[in-house]
Structure 1
């Protein structure tokens, strides 16, 4: 189990506190595929980074994740916002989704597929093929897939981790995804708060850079891939 996998199981609240400091990505998604009244799958939904803006507008929302503690936070957040309950949460593996064929208009996935498609994983390319085959299976004929992944934390221009570059290349060259990047900076009240809320996830080296650069805003570049 990776360090991040352990975080998602045992430090879900801390993770939610960190990612809540990133910007709303609703306009990015809406520009690619307006989602009002659609049937949507949030793949690797986590604590609800994307589900929080999708739920008020979509017809139905299926939220899958490997971490039940993360899904519990998502469910609580949406319930507290008094949305009409149009969502379900399912603990599931990306490679085998409990979702009917041709039932979804839009798939969104934020910072999640990378864990199975990292070149550090022995079967990364096979995993990616299985995941995308599953998404094609559940999509309606006019369906859309939108994937968000990191293009570098602590960088102001794209500098993706080397272990993800092969995955990103396949998305574009083999699977026909279009691509752009955006800034998705984490904004904190102080340098100290930035370190407090990120070191557990990103480690000591980045915490030291935050300290040395006096960053209360931690730069983050995000890649966006989409296919219709």
Structure 2
């Protein structure tokens, strides 16, 4: 399996090519919380998957990520689009450099899972710290929305075993509701599908892409939402 930490540090441009093959999530987010005029914090913002599509309607966007290289792409995208209502900060998600009650909406896409994985022996403590920080920066009636994987290369939800306890904790311990959606990758051609799948998901899935000619690679995603008073 590819080393995602190294990818985020050194191969952000290729990662951006991959995630650009998915539809944006504005409609899904808006069903939970209309974003017009909100102060929004994007945790684990990466190359701007969420920040770049939320900025148009938001009052402000703060994009945080552990990787400066990833945030450099977010900056380029937001500047190119002409937005001025944003800033980026390199940050650990467990200790946010933000003021108390400074955001109406906190979003996190495919980022908290690295702390919530059972491969991390401190996952329970780390998730507690992240949720505590999210709640700290939220204003009254603020909303948290978390997106995570529910299986790549599958047409029905199949969450990774090492994330199941984290997903259960979001619901049972922190009061989140959840729903699964399809967020397939639609590639330009099979060579691109193989290249980008092998780059991020590894050889087994890439071999399946070639074998089954999967120019459209199915992806199941899970989003969890919670409003805090």
Aligned to 2:215: 216
Cα displacement (A) at 1:150:
0.1
Cα displacement (A) at 1:58:
0.4
Q: TM-score, length-normalised on structure 1? A: 0.98
Q: Distance in 1 between matches of 2:194 and 2:38?
A: 39
Aligned to 1:37: 37
Q: How many residues are aligned here?
A: 226
Aligned to 1:227: 226
1:202 matched to 2:198? The reply is no
Q: Distance in 1 between matches of 2:85 and 2:107?
A: 16
Aligned to 2:95: 96
Q: Distance in 1 between matches of 2:214 and 2:18?
A: 15
Cα displacement (A) at 1:172:
0.5
Aligned to 1:53: 53
Post-superposition CA distance 1:64-88 (Å, at most 9, x none): 00000000000001101112x1101
SS across alignment from 1:79 = helix
SS across alignment from 2:99 = coil
Q: Distance in 1 between matches of 2:88 and 2:73?
A: 11
Cα displacement (A) at 1:196:
1.0
Post-superposition CA distance 1:53-107 (Å, at most 9, x none): 1111101111000000000000001101112x11010000000000000110000
Cα displacement (A) at 1:198:
1.9
Residue correspondence of structure 1 range 126-145 to structure 2 within 5 A: 126-145=125-144
The ranges of structure 1 where at least 4 consecutive aligned residues each deviate by more than 4 angstroms after the TM superposition are none
SS across alignment from 2:30 = helix
Q: Distance in 1 between matches of 2:24 and 2:46?
A: 15
Q: Distance in 1 between matches of 2:208 and 2:120?
A: 28
SS across alignment from 2:57 = coil
Cα displacement (A) at 1:52:
1.1
Cα displacement (A) at 1:125:
0.6
SS across alignment from 2:56 = coil
Aligned to 1:110: 109
Q: Which runs of 5+ in 1 are unaligned?
A: none
Q: Which moved more, 1:192-201 or 1:41-50?
A: 192-201
Q: TM-score, length-normalised on structure 2? A: 0.97
Post-superposition CA distance 1:201-220 (Å, at most 9, x none): 11001101111111000100
1:76 matched to 2:76? The reply is yes
SS across alignment from 2:151 = strand
Cα displacement (A) at 1:152:
0.1
Q: Which runs of 5+ in 2 are unaligned?
A: none
1:14 matched to 2:18? The reply is no
